[in-house]
A and B are shown apart, each in its own frame.
Chain A
Amino acid sequence: KAGVTQTPRYLIKTRGQQVTLSCSPISGHRSVSWYQQTPGQGLQFLFEYFSETQRNKGNFPGRFSGRQFSNSRSEMNVSTLELGDSALYLCASSLGGQGQETQYFGPGTRLLVL
């Protein structure tokens, strides 16, 4: 079974631009979560989508948004990019998103904001 895939793998943007990242979960998985990883802050939860609805949300500004499609694929958008948005963005999927389920991570998208 194919794992979680993320595109693109690398991205360079400039301040003020916006970016859209894509995540395809493991087949059959309906929950998709997004994380930001930086050296200073570690791995931080952005939001979780299940059945095309945002079910949980972390403490990030409204510039960070996402959506999920009927095939469970998800996109994350960051508007008005700031230098501090440079990070590894990780997507993780799980079956139904219940608390005791394991999340499986994709390879990540490395975003550099200049």
Chain B
Amino acid sequence: QKEVEQNSGPLSVPEGAIASLNCTYSDRGSQSFFWYRQYSGKSPELIMSIYSNGDKEDGRFTAQLNKASQYVSLLIRDSQPSDSATYLCAVNFHNYGQNFVFGPGTRLSVLP
């Protein structure tokens, strides 16, 4: 059974702070990792993808991957109230085709 785990939250941070979201996965052979953001009533939208160990930065977002620990995280710097949403960690357990397993999501609330 391939699993993706996240803290469900809610995670509350003040505006301007760093929000740290964590995700662990069960299959050591997984190669592709994604973070999606989902606002209430909307569909998921991609924030970042990461495939190699280390950090990947895109604007205020940094994804970190540690395959040995089977751990992927997302840091949001200078958090804004508009970042308040559910953040979904997704792992593609197949290298051929798509078979995404999503975590339950972490609800983030950024307080003004």
Binding site for B on A (CB under 8 A): 31, 33, 35, 42-45, 48, 50, 55-56, 58, 90, 92, 94, 97-108
Complex CA gap A43/B90 in Å reads: 10
Does B69 reach chain A (CB closer than 8 Å)?
no
Q: Which residues on the B side are within 8 Å of A58 (C-beta)?
A: 99
What's the least CB distance linking A86 to chain B, in Å? 15
A105 contacts B44, CB within 8 Å?
Answer: yes
**Top 3 A-B residue pairs of the complex, sorted by shortest distance between their CB atoms:** A43-B102, A99-B95, A105-B43
Does B31 reach chain A (CB closer than 8 Å)?
yes
Mask of B12-29 contacts with A, CB within 8 angstroms, 1/0: 000000000000000000
Mask of B78-112 contacts with A, CB within 8 angstroms, 1/0: 00000000001000101111111111110000000
B105 contacts A99, CB within 8 Å?
Answer: no
Size class of B's contact patch? 20 to 34
What's the least CB distance linking A38 to chain B, in Å? 11
Complex CA gap A40/B34 in Å reads: 22
Q: Which residues on the A side are within 8 Å of B31 (C-beta)?
A: 99-100
A99 contacts B44, CB within 8 Å?
Answer: no
Q: Could you jot down 9 A-B contacts, CB within 8 Å?
A: A33-B98, A42-B103, A55-B98, A94-B98, A97-B98, A98-B97, A105-B45, A106-B43, A107-B42
